[in-house]
Amino acid sequence: MQKIIRIGTRESELALWQANKVRKELAELGYESVLVPIKSTGDIVLDKPLYELGITGVFTKNLDIAMLNGDIDIAVHSLKDVPTALPEGIVQAAVLKRANYNDILVLNGTEEFFGEPNGVIATGSLRRKAMWLNRYPTHQVVSLRGNVNTRLEKVENNDWNGAVFAAAGLERIGKRPAGAVNLPWMIPAPAQGVIMIAALENDEYTRDACEQLNHPETEICAGIEREFLRLLEGGCSAPIGALAYIDDKTEEINFKGVLLTTDGSKKISVAKTAKKGSHEYLAKDCVDYIVNRGGKELMIADGAVSQTKHEIYSTKKLSEAQKKMLDDSIGIKDSDFIKIRFNRIPAKLMKHTHENVVITSQNGVEAILNSFTKDEINFKNIYCVGRRTKKLIENRIGKVAYAAKNASKLAEYISKETSIKKLSYFCSDLRLDDLPAYLQAHGIVVEEVEAYKTMLSSVKIDDAVSGVLFYSPSGIDSYLKENSTNKIAFCIGETTAVAARKHFEKVQVAYMPDVESVLEMVNQHYLEE
C-alpha cells in the first residue's frame, strides 16, 4: 500500500495555499497526500528539550516539533522564515520555483506623500523599516504584525500612508491591490518568494517524492542568499537583504546584498557576479566585502550582534602589533610566565674557536651577546632552532649552517647528516633532555654552557579564559603552578606540544614556530567554531 504523505501546515490562508500547492504537485506525480493543520505545541511531547534539537524560528517551530514527533511527514514553509540551521534530523527536501521576490507598498491614499517629510509607513520587518528610513529618513515607520489578511485590514483602518508587503504573499492568495506600488530599490529578504519543503532526514520515500518538485535554479539562488545571511550572523535582529538570480544568456549568477543599521542611517551594499557552477564562494566573497568595510562593527554598534569575546591568555608578553592580529571577538591578557636572567659566561670559553655550536632559542643568542661582542665570538658552524633565532644569529653573530623546526629535528639532522663528534650547546639551566640525550646516544659529545637561567613566574588566570598560549615547556611548568588544565593549549611548536599533551586534553600546534603563527592559529580556531 502506497504511503499517504502528511503535509503539515499552519492555518493561515497563505500557509494553506502553499500547502495545497505542494499537495497538487505531488498528486500530479502520483503521490497521495493529506493536509494536517498544526495549531500549537501545547500537547506535543518530545524526549529532548527544544534547545537540544536546535529548534528555532517563530513561524516554523510548531511544524518542526510535529515532524520530529511523527505527526506529519513534511512541512511547507516560506523559506525566508526558516532559520539557516535546521533542527537535527530535518532536511530541506525541495524548493519550488520562485515567485515574485519583490516588496510592494500597499497604499492608503495616493503616492504624493513620497515627496513629503512626514509620511507614515507600517511594517513588522526590520529590513523593510531600515531600507525605507535609509531612503526616506524623515518618515515614520510603525509596527505592523499579523497574517496577511490581518495586516491588510489594519492598513484600511489606520491613517498610515501605506504598508510594505511581500508581493508573492498577496499574489498567491489573489489579494494584491490594484494600486500597489512596486519597490524595486528594496532588496528583498534572503529567499523571499520561495516555498520550501522540509522532511525527516531518514524518510527516504518522502524525500524521493519531494525531490521531484525541486527547482534547481531556485535552490542555487536561495542557497546563496541564505549562506550570505548565515555568514553575516544575521536573522530577525539584523536588517539584511539579499538577492541572487541567474542570467540565462550569460549563465552568470548576479548577487546583491545589503546590511543596514535598524534606523537606516548607515548602509553597506555589495554586488558581485559568478559563473554558474563556479559560485561556491560567491556568498562568502560578498560577506567579506561587507565585513571589510565595517559590517561587523556596524552590527555590534547597532546591537544586532553581541560582542561576545573569547578570552585567552599569553604566557609571554606580546607587542601591541601582535595583539592587533587577533580578531575583535577575542580578548587577550598576557604576562611573562618565564623570566630570564643572563649568566656571565666565562671569558676563557671564547679564547678558542667553537667548531660546532647549538643554540635553541633567541634567549640563548641574547645571553651570549650579553657577555661578548660579535668580534669576540668564535663560532665556526652554528646550528639552531626556529627561523626567528636564525635571523637573530645571522644579524648579530654570523652565518647559520642549519636551522630546524624544533630541537628533536635538529638533533636528528646533526646525528644523521653531519660527521660532528663534539659540539657546544648554549642553553638554560631549565632545558629539555631530548636534544643532548639523542646526540649522546649517537656518539656525539655535548658540552653544555649554561648561558642563562629560567625562572618560573606563574600568574593565576581567570576561569573565563578558554585558551592559553605557550612558547616553551618551561612556560607550561610555570603555568601549572597556579592554574588548571581544562583549557586549550595553543603551542608554538611540537616540543612545547609534547609537554602540553602530558597535562592538557586539547592541544594545538602552530604551523611555524613563531608568535605570529600562534596568533593565526588562535584566530582560525575561534572563528571556525
Question: How far is it, in rounded angstroms, from Cα 380 to Cα 399?
Answer: 9
Report how far residue 226's alpha carbon sits from residue 242's, in angstroms, rounded to the nearest whole number.
8
> Of the listed 71, 73, 81, 433, which one is catalytic?
81
Is 64 among the catalytic positions? Answer: no
* Separation of alpha carbons 190 and 429, rounded Å: 62
Q: What is the spatial distance between Cα 130 and Cα 132, in angstroms, rounded to a whole number? A: 5
Give kind and range of the element (H or E) at residue 456. strand 445-456
Sign of CA dihedral 18, 19, 24, 26: positive
CA distance 144 to 152: 10
What beta strand segments (E) does 128-239 contain?
A: 140-142, 162-166, 181-182, 195-200
C-alpha cell of residue 446: 655535548
Q: Are 521 and 324 in contact (CB under 8 A)?
A: no
CB 60, CB 75: distance < 8 Å: yes
Beta strands in 475-514 (DSSP E): 488-491, 506-509
b/e code 420-450 from CB counts within 10 Å (16+ = b): beebbbbbbebbbebbbebbeeeebebeebe
Cell numbers 549563465 correspond to 251
Phi, psi of 434 (to 5 degrees): -55, -50
Which cell goes with 88?
Answer: 537535527
Strand pairing partners for 246? 253
Query: Looking at the annotation, which residues are catalytic?
Result: 81
